[in-house]
Amino acid sequence: MSLRQPTRCTGDKKKLALAELCQLLEDHPEKSRKILLQQVEIKYDLTPKECEFLDRNFHTE
C-alpha cells in the first residue's frame, strides 16, 4: 500500500497563494504588487482563470 498525498483542491492553492501574497506585501512593501502577484501565481501553479481572478481583485497599486 502506498502512502499518497491527497491532491489539493483548486481553492486551496488560491488561498495559499493569497496568504503568501499578503505576507510578501507586508515583508516587501517596496516591491511592485504586480511582480509579487506573478511570483505567487507561478509558485502555486495557478490556472489562467485563478490568475485572472487574483489579477482582477488584487492588482491595484
For residue range 9-57, list pLDDT tens digits in order. 657 899 999 999 999 999 999 999 999 999 999 999 999 999 999 999 9
Considering the domain boundaries, does residue 5 fall inside one? no
Residue 56 neighbours by CB distance under 10 Å: 9
Quote the pTM value.
Answer: 0.75
Q: Could you tell me which residue, 6 or 36, shows the higher pLDDT?
A: 36
- Does residue 40 fall inside a structural domain? yes
The pLDDT assigned to 59 comes to 78
DSSP 45: T
Backbone angles phi, psi at 44, to 5 degrees: -95, 5
- Quote the pLDDT of residue 8: 58
The total number of structural domains in the chain stands at 1
Position of cell 499518497? Answer: 4
Domain of 33? 10-58
Tell me the C-alpha distance between 42 and 61, whole Å: 20
